[in-house]
């Protein structure tokens, strides 16, 4: 669809992605508390996460990414990550500035898996 006005095009795209997001969350509830309000997706393993901007992707690619996720309400999602911030040996704790041995080792492990996944994706693209 061609738009002469970029503002109209952006608004159309924003509403299109919002509709896709709302369709996904329709009939779903929070995995922890059962709430149906302010639902969000939470990646179980952050290393496998490609992006958080998935609503403009094709159906197949989006479904593959959503299989790696849980549905949580915004409160439970925030509590999960706040709890993660308190534990040493997590990516969140490292990103908050902790450089203890446990946090550094965890980040090295995460980066190693990320690099291996990236290399595998690059090889798959070439083949």
Whether the per-residue pLDDT at 45 is higher than 80: the answer is: yes
- 54 and 65 in contact (C-beta within 8 Å)? yes
Query: Does 28 lie in the same domain as 63?
Result: yes
Query: Does 103 lie in the same domain as 66?
Result: no
Whether the per-residue pLDDT at 38 is higher than 90: the answer is: yes
Query: Does 52 lie in the same domain as 33?
Result: yes
Mean pLDDT of 11-17: 93
Report the C-alpha gap between 86 and 104 in whole angstroms: 15
Query: Does 82 lie in the same domain as 43?
Result: yes
Contacts of 56 (CB under 8 A, 6+ apart): 13, 16, 17, 20
Mean pLDDT of 71-82: 88
Report how many domains make up the chain: 2
Residue 110 buriedness (CB in 10 A; 0-12 / 13-18 / 19+): middle
- Structure pTM? 0.63
Query: Does 80 lie in the same domain as 51?
Result: yes
The pLDDT, as a whole number, for residue 1 is 55
The pLDDT, as a whole number, for residue 85 is 66
Query: Does 67 lie in the same domain as 24?
Result: yes
The domain of 126 spans 88-127
Mean pLDDT of 75-88: 80
Query: Does 71 lie in the same domain as 9?
Result: yes
Query: Does 106 lie in the same domain as 72?
Result: no
Query: Does 63 lie in the same domain as 34?
Result: yes
Helix (H) or strand (E) holding 65: helix 59-66
pLDDT tens profile 82-103: 877 677 887 777 877 888 888 8
Query: Does 62 lie in the same domain as 36?
Result: yes
Query: Does 65 lie in the same domain as 112?
Result: no
- For residues 113 and 7, the model is more confident at 7
């Amino acid at each position: 669809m061609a738009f002469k006005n970029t503002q109209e095009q952006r608004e159309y795209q924003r509403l299109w992605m919002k509709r896709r997001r709302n369709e996904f969350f329709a009939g779903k509830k929070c995995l922890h508390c059962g709430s149906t309000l302010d639902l969000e997706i939470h990646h179980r393993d952050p290393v496998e996460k490609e992006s958080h901007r998935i609503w403009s992707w094709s159906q197949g690619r989006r479904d593959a990414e959503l299989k790696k996720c849980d549905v949580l309400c915004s409160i439970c999602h925030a509590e999960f990550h706040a709890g993660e911030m308190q534990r040493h040996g997590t990516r969140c704790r490292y990103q908050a500035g902790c450089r203890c041995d446990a946090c550094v080792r965890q980040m090295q492990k995460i980066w190693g898996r990320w690099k291996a996944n990236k290399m595998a994706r690059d090889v798959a693209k070439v083949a």
